[in-house]
A and B are shown apart, each in its own frame.
Chain A
Amino acid sequence: MSVVFYLVAALTIAGGLAAVLLKNLVHAALAVTVAFLGLALLFLSLDAQFAGFAQILVYIGAVAILIVFAILLTRGSDLPKDGVFSRTWLIGLAIAAAVFSVLGWAVLRSGPVLPNQSAVPTVTVHDIGVALVRRYVLPLEIVALLLTAATIGAVIVAMHEKGGSQ
């Protein structure tokens, strides 16, 4: 367990660092994909099959491709002469560090509060499905509605304005 964990963690962190540090935008996008894969493997090593596969399906299959399309369709893969680093990277670093410390603090403090579970609960995909359509059906439907609205909005934005009568 621990060897696998350290290997996967190293892969994830390397992917994340490469995504930030690489100069070439497409390389950075591919490095993000590696980080996503590392996260999925972490989920899998925790025996969370659904989360792991959904991570691969959504993040590598859709989000990474979306990022790549956005890069290629906006300004080409040619890199600007002055590099791709923002001038406000120091502030960004500070904000990231703050978010990380809050999250880390919350995770570390939550340990003693939770009831001490001796056995690892076995959650099958079936259980997740049942929970989604029984207990959490309202949030699920709200998300579905929101996504449909977003899709329609995207279509309206992308639609040709016919005639120009308005």
Chain B
Amino acid sequence: MIDKMDQVFVLLQHWLVSFLPANLQAFAAVLLSVIVIVLLFPALFALTTVFERKGLGRIQNRLGPNRVGPFGFFQPVADGIKSLTKEDIVPSSANAPVHFLAPIVLVVAVFMGFAVLPMGRNMVLVDMDAGLLFYFAMGASTEVSVFMAGWSSRNKYSLLGAMRAVAQMISYEVVLLLSSVSVVMIAGSLSLPKIVEAQNQYTWGLPHWYIFTPWGLAGFVMYAIAATAETNRSPFDLPEGESELVAGYHTEYSGFKFALFFLGEYLAMFSISGLGTTLFLGGWSAPFSALTWIPSWIWFFSKLMLSIFVFIWMRGTLPRLRQDQLMNFAWKFVLPFTLLNLMVTALWRFMGEGWERWVVCTAILGVVWVVMGRIEMRSEHFGPRSYRYAE
């Protein structure tokens, strides 16, 4: 029974496919999984927008949406109808073909990333040998679409927003890749299901998740910072800084094309949270060996939604960074620390089993964290803010 619940979607897929002739079955199985992914994550997106707006409302001491349906839960339906029926305005000086293609390229590239995420035991669309590489290749393609949107709008705010976004995404993509490399070094595979399998072991009822090791914790913190920047979420949401850029690269998009950008942003958030879950938080494995009877897909999606909650929480809490702070933070703190973490991971790998490696690795990372922070904050002076032009 427990096994049946764990594999319920896999069994359902097999059952549905078995009605078809044998030569169509493989194709139908893939098609079915694709349809489920394409339907499930936008539904999750709709749900998340309500939670985000209500959560932000709570953080900011107001009510949030509460008019459409019970507790405002049908708000995304109203939003969807609105964006579908809104006039699609393309600026007359815009570069029409590129302007049209940009949101499509974005959404397609983001959807591709879900293909390699293991969402439960045996629940991965393509078990690729180089799954992690595939994921990052798709993530890199979104930068092109952001540039296409900003450039084709022929609007200086759009172009500035796009340049900011691309510069930010390139800077933090390095960190994202390097912090994942340490996981690959320990797991010894680029295949995401294999990485989850490597973490799905228990000692004294506690899991072997990589976040519970010194290098894994440091890597996860760096990954989380880079993921926030990569998805242009607050506090790294300068590309769409309303006060200076209107809405960044999607200023000139309206109606459904804007909705596609919105969807793309949230899907990127889901997929990057899913990847972080897979790499550091044990993917679909249960947090205690006593809880393994709960189906694996419930664990995956709980961890995913927990990450989304942290994203929303940070958005409600932290102020936006300035461009120079963003770049300094990426290149002077996050990147060196990630490189150090890579070496510590190698040390961890070669010191072998035992308590020594825990002490040594924790000590190195802790000392460097404190010293680097102290050195870089030395030149910062906190006091009343001074304005050059607006006094």
Residue of B nearest to A60 (CB): B141
Q: Which residues of B contact A126 (CB under 8 A)?
A: 129, 188-189
Residue of B nearest to A129 (CB): B190
The segment from A26-34, A111-119, A139-147, A156-164 found at the interface with B is: A26-34
Most buried by B among A54, A56, A61: A61
Chain B nearest Cβ from A126, distance in angstroms:
7
- Which applies to chain B's interface (DSSP): helix, strand, loop or mixed? helix
0/1 string, A46-79, CB within 8 A of B gives 1: 0001100110110011101100110010000100
CB atoms of B144 and A53 under 8 A apart? no
Q: Which residues of A contact B163 (CB under 8 A)?
A: 69, 72
Chain A nearest Cβ from B232, distance in angstroms:
16
Residue total for A at the interface (Cβ-Cβ under 8 A): 24
Q: Which residues of B contact A72 (CB under 8 A)?
A: 151, 159, 163
Chain B nearest Cβ from A61, distance in angstroms:
3
Bound form: Cα–Cα A40–B137 in Å? 11
Within 8 A of A (CB), among B84-100: 95, 98
CB atoms of B189 and A53 under 8 A apart? no
CB atoms of B151 and A49 under 8 A apart? no
A124 on interface, CB distance cutoff 8 Å = yes
B369 on interface, CB distance cutoff 8 Å = no
A125 on interface, CB distance cutoff 8 Å = yes
CB atoms of A53 and B130 under 8 A apart? yes
Within 8 A of A (CB), among B16-49: none
Within 8 A of A (CB), among B196-221: none
CB atoms of A50 and B170 under 8 A apart? no
Beyond A53-B130, A53-B133, is A65–B143 a contact (Cβ under 8 Å)? yes
B275 on interface, CB distance cutoff 8 Å = no
0/1 string, B277-310, CB within 8 A of A gives 1: 0000000000000000000000000000000000
B147 on interface, CB distance cutoff 8 Å = yes
- Which applies to chain A's interface (DSSP): helix, strand, loop or mixed? helix
Chain B, interface size category, equals 20 to 34
0/1 string, A118-140, CB within 8 A of B gives 1: 00000011100000000000000
Q: Which residues of A contact B188 (CB under 8 A)?
A: 126
Within 8 A of A (CB), among B154-171: 159, 163, 166, 170
Beyond A30-B98, A53-B134, is A64–B144 a contact (Cβ under 8 Å)? yes
Bound form: Cα–Cα A65–B170 in Å? 9
User: 8 closest A-B pairs (Cβ-Cβ)?
Assistant: A61-B140, A56-B137, A53-B133, A53-B137, A49-B130, A57-B137, A125-B130, A57-B140
Bound form: Cα–Cα A64–B163 in Å? 14
Bound form: Cα–Cα A77–B148 in Å? 13
Bound form: Cα–Cα A125–B95 in Å? 41
B128 on interface, CB distance cutoff 8 Å = yes
Given contacts A49-B129, A57-B133, 16 further A-B contacts (CB under 8 A): A26-B151, A33-B144, A50-B133, A53-B130, A53-B136, A54-B133, A61-B136, A64-B144, A65-B166, A68-B147, A69-B166, A72-B151, A72-B163, A126-B129, A126-B188, A126-B189
Bound form: Cα–Cα A163–B147 in Å? 37
28 A-B pairs with CB atoms under 8 Å apart are A27-B98, A30-B98, A40-B137, A49-B128, A49-B134, A50-B133, A53-B134, A53-B137, A54-B133, A54-B137, A56-B137, A56-B138, A57-B133, A57-B140, A60-B137, A61-B140, A61-B143, A61-B173, A62-B170, A64-B144, A65-B143, A65-B166, A68-B151, A69-B163, A72-B151, A124-B129, A125-B130, A126-B189
CB atoms of A57 and B136 under 8 A apart? yes
Bound form: Cα–Cα A64–B148 in Å? 12
Bound form: Cα–Cα A80–B134 in Å? 39
Residue of A nearest to B151 (CB): A26
Q: Which residues of A contact B144 (CB under 8 A)?
A: 30, 33, 60, 64-65
